[in-house]
Structure 1
Amino acid sequence: MAAVTSVSFSAIAQSSSDRRAPFCTAARNFGFEGFRFRSSFSCHYVGVRASNSTSRMVIHCMSTSTDVPPTVAETKLNFLKAYKRPIPSIYNTVLQELIVQQHLMKYKKTYRYDPVFGLGFVTVYDQLMEGYPSDEDREAIFQAYIKALEEDPEKYIIDAKTLEEWARTQTPSSLVDFSSRDGEIEGILKDIAERAASGNFSYSRFFAVGLFRLLELSNTSEPTVLEKLCSALNIDKRSVDRDLDVYRGLLSKLVQARELLKEYVDREKKKQEERAESQKANETVAKCLGEPQFVGH
């Protein structure tokens, strides 16, 4: 006679988020909602007792679960592994904030990369890293950042360049009237509009910055054009306005921080020069005192 026992359980796995370093309100507001993933497991235990009083248990386990994303800590660690050199705190603080926020946004179920989003991120990154001491390091940091999020940095660069070139050839009217024309970028914008209309579009603040950049490159300054473009894309203009205000505030704070950093670097450079001159003078005096003195008879 066989006895069958079945045990099942479910567990909720939530991505952990590590403690954030303090930063300005504008940077914190440039964030995204959290998310949760659910996994379920079931195990069936089958016990069979034979006539010779020996027993044997066979365990059949089955697991069905969604793909478990990396944690925020793992994404940050991947970035640090990819770029091992120290980053000045003014840049590193904002980068750490952005990578946390972009991690949370990317692993939402509704996330899907699009070139306007890519343009927005590249724009934010370029503004953030403006004035970085080394162009080579700035590029290396960009590569490490995007790869830590398991995405392709070259795609971001190519898409941003393609959209920028396209926007420079547009007028306010042609920019808004994309749905009536054929073309690569027009097709991308149509796809965004269709997904937004059906509720399958994941709006983000990088997307808002991408829209702003398109308007900027097409020499569009009339506020009504942004309203019309948002309407054509089925995007809430109030969200775009709010996020652009946050973006402008962040840029303003970065400018102030860069000025303070420059003053600090200049002061330290001056101190080093003064110390070097003082050391040189001391060495000269010591050399003179150490030389034998000859007195003529």
Structure 2
Amino acid sequence: MNNVRTVSDTKRTFYNLHTRPINTIYRRVVEELMVEMHLLSVNVDFSYNPIYALGVVTTFDRFMQGYQPERDQESIFNALCQAVEQDPQHYRQDAERLQAIGKSLPVKDLIAWLSQTAHLDRDADLQGHLQAIANNPNFKYSRLFAIGLFSLLENSDPELIKDEKQRTEALKAIANGLNLSDDKLNKDLELYRSNLDKMAQALIVMADMMSAERKKREQRKQQSTTPVAPPTSNE
């Protein structure tokens, strides 16, 4: 008997946990992330690691930026993790820990550590995961893992990731050290950065439309409250 959860099961759980409607522009983001997390969670080669957690948190926080009402963001994130039978606090804690590591290390040291050319005595848990990834020929790579790596670099040196040559070299070194495809890593991150730009543009358009609609409502309100002058007599 096959008891593997389906995408429909995961979606049903999510919408039972988060019952408020999701704004249209963000719904696709939430559902795509949900499906991606679901497909990984049911893959036999997938195993949780803190870099993946950082990728999930970074993706959610970046793409849900500006979501209103703001208080719903936490509910949506919690429901996402719980829908794939994961602990949202575990994701947040691991992400915060790795963000702090990224910010505290010079980027050259971070790249050397991630590419396993140097071992830093900083975080035994992360070191163990890096070694396990490098030594596992069946490691289940994902776009969210790539975003986690990218986020680590971004926290360490935001300027490096803006420089295409330096960024490409850093990702190639990390991919080689962890026995991943640097071509796939770069393609996934190019798509991620492109989607962030598109989302930012969509939010600007949405803000402009909401502003225009607000002005129209105000004009209609003014017109409805403006007293109408009585008709003049022709007599």
The reply to whether TM is greater than 0.5 is yes
Task: State the AA in 2 paired with 1:237.
Answer: D
- Aligned equivalent of 2:233: none
- In the TM superposition, what are the counterparts of 1:109-120 in structure 2 within 5 Å? 109-120=44-55
Match of 1:180 among 119, 139, 148: 119
- Aligned equivalent of 1:255: 200
Instruction: Give the Cα separation in 1 of the matches to 2:47 and 2:202.
Output: 33
Tell me which protein shows more helix as a share of its residues.
2
Deviations 1:92-126 (A, max 9, x none): 12211221222112111111111100111111111
Deviations 1:128-176 (A, max 9, x none): 0111123211111111111111111101111110001011111133213
Task: State the AA in 2 paired with 1:169.
Answer: S
Q: Is 2:134–2:177's contact at 8 Å kept on the other side of the alignment? A: no
Q: CA RMSD in A?
A: 2.2
Deviations 1:240-270 (A, max 9, x none): 1010011011111111211121122112212
Instruction: Give the Cα separation in 1 of the matches to 2:74 and 2:125.
Output: 30
Task: State the AA in 2 paired with 1:252.
Answer: D
Rg bigger for which structure? 1
- Does 1:271 find its partner at 2:216? yes
- Aligned equivalent of 1:165: 100
Instruction: Give the Cα separation in 2 of the matches to 1:181 and 1:137.
Output: 39
Q: Is 1:208–1:243's contact at 8 Å kept on the other side of the alignment? A: yes
Instruction: Give the Cα separation in 1 of the matches to 2:57 and 2:149.
Output: 12
Instruction: Give the Cα separation in 1 of the matches to 2:45 and 2:71.
Output: 35
Relative to the length of structure 1, the TM-score reads: 0.68
Task: State the AA in 1 paired with 2:175.
Answer: C
- Does 1:208 find its partner at 2:152? no
Task: State the AA in 2 paired with 1:202.
Answer: K
Tell me which protein shows more strand as a share of its residues.
1
Task: State the AA in 2 paired with 1:214.
Answer: L
Give aligned pairs, total: 220
Instruction: Give the Cα separation in 1 of the matches to 2:128 and 2:107.
Output: 17
* SS, match of residue 203 in structure 1: coil
Q: CA deviation at 1:285?
A: 5.5
- Does 1:194 find its partner at 2:132? yes
Q: CA deviation at 1:225?
A: 2.5
**Is there any run of 5+ residues in structure 2 with no aligned partner, and where?**
161-165, 231-235
Give 4+ residue runs of structure 1 displaced > 6 Å after superposition.
Answer: none
- In the TM superposition, what are the counterparts of 1:41-60 in structure 2 within 5 Å? none
